[in-house]
Amino acid sequence: MSEVLLMGPGPSPVSHRVRSAMARPLLGHLDPRFLAELDGLQADLRMVFESSAALTFPISGTGSAAMETAVVTLCRPGRRVLVLSCGVFGERIAAMVRRSGAELTLESFPFGTPVDPDIARRRMQEVAPHVVAVVQAETSTGVRSDVDAIAALAKEFGADLIVDAVTSLGGMPVHADTWDAAIVYSGSQKCLGAPPGLGPITVRDGLVQNQDETRSWYFDLGLISQYLGSERLYHHTAPISMIFALAEAMRDLREEGLAARFARHRKASAALRAGLDVLGLHSRVATADLLPSLTVVAPPKGLDETDLRRELLLAEGVEIAGGLGPWRGTAWRIGTMGEGARLQPVLRTVASIGRVLAHHGRAVAIPQAGSQAAKTWAETD
Amino acid sequence: MSEVLLMGPGPSPVSHRVRSAMARPLLGHLDPRFLAELDGLQADLRMVFESSAALTFPISGTGSAAMETAVVTLCRPGRRVLVLSCGVFGERIAAMVRRSGAELTLESFPFGTPVDPDIARRRMQEVAPHVVAVVQAETSTGVRSDVDAIAALAKEFGADLIVDAVTSLGGMPVHADTWDAAIVYSGSQKCLGAPPGLGPITVRDGLVQNQDETRSWYFDLGLISQYLGSERLYHHTAPISMIFALAEAMRDLREEGLAARFARHRKASAALRAGLDVLGLHSRVATADLLPSLTVVAPPKGLDETDLRRELLLAEGVEIAGGLGPWRGTAWRIGTMGEGARLQPVLRTVASIGRVLAHHGRAVAIPQAGSQAAKTWAETD
């Protein structure tokens, strides 16, 4: 089977170098050489989170596991939690908060729009929340929310801020320190370019003290910090091979540099949108709210969009995703994340979609779509 | 760096074939070819759990994550839970039950001894538990408990049974169906021979109905079953590469066959004990309670055991583990798990320990220890 080009909203393509790191012979989770590798990974994660926090590491689970860690750490009965949601992943945070026993206020903004800071301010005035949660890059809609503004509000109202950076970390700026965020988390399989299975997280210094109150043992940051700290107290067996992979992916990122990395994501998403526009597939998101890592377009009218995606996957070897929630059936989600945020995979994706449309009788200008994508790539800053 | 021989209580050695599976190009978590791979893995897990349960799959986290899944599924306020503990991992279940809000009764048996079914029966009479939890192979002491007997008692008293098979699955018989266990779980990095990061679990048919009550979203079996079932409803992004690895390890196991696999573990542990005996390192566990996957001996008196283990790791490239809990400093835990349960790694471990002891001035008969180990391997059934 030839390699599938993963252009959905994650998992993103993983380089041969990163995959090879997983094939390395294992080390024990208390081996000093493994601990040195883990220390290096933690330092690299601090760089990409723009965080100085000691407790910056990968949760041994996926991005949703990191989300649950944030929720069980900060939300419990008696605490008021305001979730500012504009999509499925904001709703997911709310579902977890509901289970935590905390007092949830869910403010949902329309699908395809970002969190409105003015409305957020009014809700904070009404609710006086202990905790505010927001998704920086909503994976269900391809919309970015203005976390700078929300973070300023959280600070003004004295609330602990949770930021979901699953689809943003490594693809656009994340400012954990500047935001003074309590917890920011992400996933390994998006813009970081590693396989799914780890949930990077950064936890503001001093936030975790007495963790006996958390409902989860596995996600108990107090216990985990004793393994990461100088005591090296065993908590659970670290997922060694996955940590090798993420450490390798982070070395790639460090060598490239954050600024170059972010520029590459901007160029790739602009090129993708330009190419798709020529094919008649237009963004469902307003220009000001676009993400550099994920493009969401309306699928072609009059054709079964799941059939088209299946043909794209099986005949062209290119994976993209359909819509979630209210956009099921009316959206295509196409990622430009990590190794996918390069001109070649973007051109291949545009051409493949074009061929599938042509195969279904649509008159599309595939070469023109490609040249428009390449031109836009070159012209984007 | 040359390869470390992992002879601690996990992670165990991972074959080149299994590690190479992790280097495969990724597939999406909804790609039909990935789902076919996952289906095959589920079937193989049913074989090794001896389970017919539909909901048999790997939790996206380590063995402790699978433990937490079992606890959040079955334990909640108003339910009486009896934990039969004979070591650190029994205590860990109790710690999780405590956080669940259920009414915990913890019956702890002395370190180095198994659960006593007579005492278990008396406690069940007193407590009338809704749930009983027991560890089949206690990783902190190397002791096996008689789950057949405990399962019969749980059935008699109408309690749901949780079995921790982390250090047993794939190395000795696990009878999920025969036990009529509610949940049995394990870890990928022990006798199954895959890297750490997945927690195989099997859940009795009909057990999971309305999961809205669970406190954990990530470990909600009701939600996860919708992804594993025909709906293929997205829950979280499956850890693709880890699943490739475990699927490959399970194919190895299927080809070898359970009976041959278990025999290999018995032979390896017997050989290891015979070799260590010659070196003057004797088992801390009574013969009737020995595990085929883990041998626990008293370290040599009069020497710093952590220094010896460090030298063993850094000079000889062999990793073993020290004691946990009350046995910290007074136990060495040496695994014969998965790829480690073969004559060659056992002989290398015995010889390496012998050389480290000789280096520290002990008069030890290394060749004799090796030949005794080989002889015992050949003679063990």
pLDDT in tens, B353-381: 999 999 999 999 999 999 999 999 999 99
Residue B1 pLDDT class (50, 70, 90 cuts): low
A137 and A280 together in one domain: no
B27 and B65 together in one domain: yes
Neighbour count for residue A21 (Cβ, 10 Å): 24
A139 and A178 together in one domain: yes
Question: Which of B22, B313, B319 has its CB closest to that of A241?
Answer: B22
pLDDT of A211 over the 60 cut: no
Q: What angle do CA B128, B131, B132 make, to 5 degrees?
A: 90
Q: What is the pLDDT of residues B257-296, one digit of tens each?
A: 999 999 999 999 999 999 999 999 999 999 999 999 999 9
Of B225, B256, B287, which marks where a domain is finished? B256
What pLDDT, on the 0 to 100 scale, is given for residue A296? 98
H or E element, residue A42: helix A32-49
Chain B contact set for A239 (CB, 8 A): 62, 195-197, 242
Give the whole-angstrom CA distance, residue B120 versus residue B362: 44
Give the whole-angstrom CA distance, residue B301 versus residue B360: 12
pLDDT of B212 over the 80 cut: no
Give the whole-angstrom CA distance, residue A79 versus residue A74: 8
Residue B210 pLDDT class (50, 70, 90 cuts): low
Give the whole-angstrom CA distance, residue A347 versus residue B374: 61
Of A223, A256, A289, which marks where a domain is finished? A256
Instruction: Determine the average pLDDT of the residues in B236-256.
Output: 97
What pLDDT, on the 0 to 100 scale, is given for residue B234? 87
Give the whole-angstrom CA distance, residue A262 versus residue A48: 11
Q: What percent of chain A has pLDDT over 90?
A: 96
Residue A217 sits in a domain whose CATH number is: 3.40.640.10
Q: What is the pLDDT of residues A343-372, one digit of tens each?
A: 999 999 999 999 999 999 999 999 999 999
Report CA torsion sign: A212, A214, A218, A220: negative
Q: What angle do CA B192, B193, B199 make, to 5 degrees?
A: 55
pLDDT of A323 over the 90 cut: yes
A286 and A240 together in one domain: no
The residue in chain B having the minimum alpha-carbon distance to the alpha carbon of residue A100 is B215
Chain centroid offset of residue A291 CA: 11
Tokens for B279? 């070196």
Chain A contact set for B64 (CB, 8 A): 217-218, 235-237
Instruction: Determine the average pLDDT of the residues in B164-187.
Output: 98
Question: Which of A27, A189, A216 has its CB closest to that of B4?
Answer: A27
What pLDDT, on the 0 to 100 scale, is given for residue B211? 57
A230 and A103 together in one domain: yes
Chain A interface, best mutation among B19, B201, B216, by max A CB count within 10 A = B216
What pLDDT, on the 0 to 100 scale, is given for residue B34? 96
What pLDDT, on the 0 to 100 scale, is given for residue A191? 98
Tokens for B357? 């002891």
Q: Are B23 and A19 a contacting pair at CB < 8 A?
A: yes
Tokens for B293? 């996957």
Q: Are A11 and B22 a contacting pair at CB < 8 A?
A: no
Does A304 or A1 have the greater pLDDT score? A304
- Asked casually if ipTM beats, i.e. exceeds, 0.85, the reply is yes
Chain B contact set for A95 (CB, 8 A): 217
Q: Are A26 and B195 a contacting pair at CB < 8 A?
A: yes
A365 exposed, middle or buried (CB, 10 Å; 0-12, 13-18, 19+)? Answer: middle
Largest CA distance in chain B: 65
A61 and A208 together in one domain: yes
Count of the separate structural domains present in chain A: 2
What pLDDT, on the 0 to 100 scale, is given for residue B229? 85
A35 and A163 together in one domain: yes
Taking the CA atoms of residue A225, residue A218, residue A84 and residue A268 in that order, the dihedral angle to the nearest 10 degrees is: 80
Give the whole-angstrom CA distance, residue A151 versus residue A157: 10
Residue B274 sits in a domain whose CATH number is: 3.90.1150.10
Q: Are B187 and A31 a contacting pair at CB < 8 A?
A: no
Chain A interface, best mutation among B2, B22, B64, B188, by max A CB count within 10 A = B22
B307 exposed, middle or buried (CB, 10 Å; 0-12, 13-18, 19+)? Answer: exposed
CB pairs under 8 A between A and B: 190
A224 and A350 together in one domain: no
A230 and A128 together in one domain: yes
Give the whole-angstrom CA distance, residue A63 versus residue A90: 13
Q: How high is the mean pLDDT of chain A?
A: 97
Give the whole-angstrom CA distance, residue A38 versus residue A18: 15
What pLDDT, on the 0 to 100 scale, is given for residue B220? 95
Of A256, A283, A314, which marks where a domain is finished? A256
Instruction: Determine the average pLDDT of the residues in A120-125.
Output: 98
B90 and B120 together in one domain: yes
Instruction: Determine the average pLDDT of the residues in B235-246.
Output: 96
Residue ranges of alpha helices (H) inside chain B are 16-22, 32-49, 63-74, 88-100, 117-127, 147-156, 176-179, 221-228, 240-256, 258-278, 305-316, 343-359, 366-379
Residue A291 pLDDT class (50, 70, 90 cuts): very high
Give the whole-angstrom CA distance, residue A10 versus residue A333: 10
Q: How high is the mean pLDDT of chain B?
A: 97
What pLDDT, on the 0 to 100 scale, is given for residue B323? 97
Q: Give B283 to chain A, closest Cα distance, Å.
A: 23
What pLDDT, on the 0 to 100 scale, is given for residue A212? 61
Q: Are B64 and A10 a contacting pair at CB < 8 A?
A: no
Residue A36 pLDDT class (50, 70, 90 cuts): very high
A29 and A130 together in one domain: yes
Pick from A9, A2, A20, A8: nearest CA to A249: A20
B33 and B119 together in one domain: yes
| Amino acid of residue A110 | P
Does B167 or B226 have the greater pLDDT score? B167
Q: What is the pLDDT of residues B50-61, one digit of tens each?
A: 999 999 999 999
What pLDDT, on the 0 to 100 scale, is given for residue A213? 73
Q: What is the pLDDT of residues B112-130, one digit of tens each?
A: 999 999 999 999 999 999 9
Domain that holds residue A300: 5-10+258-379
What pLDDT, on the 0 to 100 scale, is given for residue A209? 79
The residue in chain B having the minimum alpha-carbon distance to the alpha carbon of residue A324 is B234
Q: What percent of chain B has pLDDT over 70?
A: 99
The residue in chain B having the minimum alpha-carbon distance to the alpha carbon of residue A241 is B195
